A and B are shown apart, each in its own frame.
Chain A
């Protein structure tokens, strides 16, 4: 790794002030993404600020209203093991457990998880091929290169990368919010607005600005929370990023869907909500596979596969349906 300075901070205001003052400062918590990025020279911060000592930010709170507040420094493994998380929102525990490995989950923080950068091999390549995320303006090697793992929704000519977080897919389905504190104070970002599409500025993954510190993730009480499930398909069964994944949460009357929430991973630059499908699924029977298929297909009219990933269009619809049915069995 390149030489850098390291200091630690135990007060959020000092952390934010240092970050906003100095564009060469990066926060480090678990480090499981940032250290990889530094080894691959995709991030070269001059100064790291260790935020692990910030007080009270690793708490996992089961709120009286049925929701959750998860501190940004809580570790993935602690959240996945939390009995209230597992009971209220099994989709969150499952998304965490299907990610990374036991060792990495013990290290990685929740705030860092939703900040993690794409696994596009061109972006991570230390030989520095054209990549607009790595070097803005240099081009996209994946657009006409090896793009089997890349997006089928929402991509631009500047970037076809996908977001690798499993957790983010579950949080998107549940319309969670991210509590962020910056130089101007605290604000709450709806999860749908947290990650962004690449457009002409793929170097920007999300709505976090310089000086922003993620404080917590809040999950409101949801009628669909208990009837939720996460499914993930990958090239090997464990310890691998998704080809396609789905988070489903459903509330039912008997076997009929009252409301459904569906989000996909591995298909876009952000977790991809299937809003058209969610509307079409209202009133459908969980036993009517044809109806479920047709409803889910309404969210795929704008799918634009690349040369190597047309298989994702079919695979994503199937996994969405399987996740929905499994979620329904819990509802």
Chain B
């Protein structure tokens, strides 16, 4: 059945055809803002965060505006540049093209969650080592994308650069051409691509 309110999940709430029990907070919000709100929680960089946002709020806007995690960048806001890349359940996704309220119970990782015990993630270190950026605006998206991309390669996923998709793929097959293709969803207007490829290649080799 449809469960738009608290009856089953205890969290996700949204307006519209939800059956109201008269105590629903969203009705108060609707009265003051004229728009429905959603209540849910997600785990961001290991911390459970209770959220109250309008259903139209993207995950990107929720991370930046509600949680103050401004490491994730908002550039095209249309799924065309990759600057907003984060991980949901370990997978790289575009946070501008998904709704925050659809992430109820999900585990989100942003660039702020990569370092461990004060030590940079190997990809962060590799970007510094190889000078993989100039202005830096695309960098958090590049790094989040690359971290998950290496995991995809380890899992044997082929790409459009793979000579024959019928053959097994292993991480050692991650040539520069493979890295370029797999990272093509992350644009860099400073065109630091050669250094980005070097940084990713080093991290992949060391992983």
Interface hit among A4-12, A181-189, A287-295, A310-318 = A4-12
Interface residues on B, range: 35 or more
Type the 1/0 row for B48-73, where 1 means its CB is closer than 8 Å to any CB of A: 00000011101000000000000000
Assess whether A10 is in contact with B185, with CB atoms less than 8 Å apart.
Answer: no
B4 within 8 A of A: yes
Minimum Cβ distance to chain B for residue A239 (Å): 4
Assess whether A8 is in contact with B56, with CB atoms less than 8 Å apart.
Answer: no
How far is B85's CA from A217's CA once the two chains are assembled, in angstroms?
A: 29
A106 within 8 A of B: yes
**Which of B2, B35, B149, B186 contacts A18 (CB under 8 A)?**
B2
Assess whether A7 is in contact with B56, with CB atoms less than 8 Å apart.
Answer: no
Minimum Cβ distance to chain A for residue B157 (Å): 4
Nearest chain-A residue to B183 (Cβ)?
A102
A22 within 8 A of B: yes
Majority SS at the chain A contact face:
mixed
How far is B94's CA from A248's CA once the two chains are assembled, in angstroms?
A: 32
Assess whether B3 is in contact with A8, with CB atoms less than 8 Å apart.
Answer: yes
**Which of B3, B77, B91, B158 contacts A106 (CB under 8 A)?**
B91
Question: In the complex, what residues of B have CB within 8 A of residue A15's CB?
Answer: 2
- Given contact pairs A31-B97, A48-B55, A7 touches B78 in the complex (Cβ within 8 A): no
Interface residues in B170-187 by Cβ distance below 8 A to A read: 180-186
Majority SS at the chain B contact face:
loop
A97 within 8 A of B: yes
Assess whether B98 is in contact with A35, with CB atoms less than 8 Å apart.
Answer: yes
**Which of B12, B36, B186 contacts A3 (CB under 8 A)?**
B36
A77 within 8 A of B: yes
B166 within 8 A of A: yes
Question: In the complex, what residues of B have CB within 8 A of residue A298's CB?
Answer: none
A156 within 8 A of B: no
- Given contact pairs A31-B99, A106-B91, A5 touches B3 in the complex (Cβ within 8 A): no
Type the 1/0 row for B1-43, where 1 means its CB is closer than 8 Å to any CB of A: 1111000000010111110000000000000001110100000
A322 within 8 A of B: no
Interface residues in A1-30 by Cβ distance below 8 A to B read: 1-11, 14-15, 18, 22, 28, 30
- Given contact pairs A36-B97, A101-B82, A103-B145, A8 touches B4 in the complex (Cβ within 8 A): yes
- Given contact pairs A7-B18, A81-B156, A106 touches B93 in the complex (Cβ within 8 A): yes
Assess whether B99 is in contact with A35, with CB atoms less than 8 Å apart.
Answer: yes
How far is B36's CA from A22's CA once the two chains are assembled, in angstroms?
A: 18
Assess whether B184 is in contact with A101, with CB atoms less than 8 Å apart.
Answer: yes
B195 within 8 A of A: no
A52 within 8 A of B: yes
23 contacts between A and B (CB under 8 A): A5-B15, A6-B14, A6-B16, A7-B14, A7-B17, A18-B2, A36-B79, A39-B77, A52-B102, A80-B158, A81-B157, A83-B168, A93-B165, A97-B158, A101-B184, A101-B185, A101-B186, A102-B148, A102-B159, A103-B85, A103-B92, A104-B185, A106-B91
Residues of A within 8 A of B (CB): 1-11, 14-15, 18, 22, 28, 30-32, 35-36, 38-39, 46-50, 52, 77, 80-81, 83, 86-87, 90, 93-94, 97-98, 100-104, 106-107, 237-239, 330
Q: Which 7 pairs from chain A and chain B are nearest by CB?
A: A101-B185, A5-B16, A7-B4, A238-B184, A6-B55, A5-B15, A3-B35
Instruction: Given contacts A3-B56, A36-B78, list 4 more A-B pairs with CB under 8 A.
Output: A35-B58, A77-B152, A80-B157, A97-B162
Residues of B within 8 A of A (CB): 1-4, 12, 14-18, 34-36, 38, 54-56, 58, 77-79, 82, 85, 91-94, 97-99, 101-102, 145, 148-149, 152, 155-160, 162, 164-166, 168, 180-186
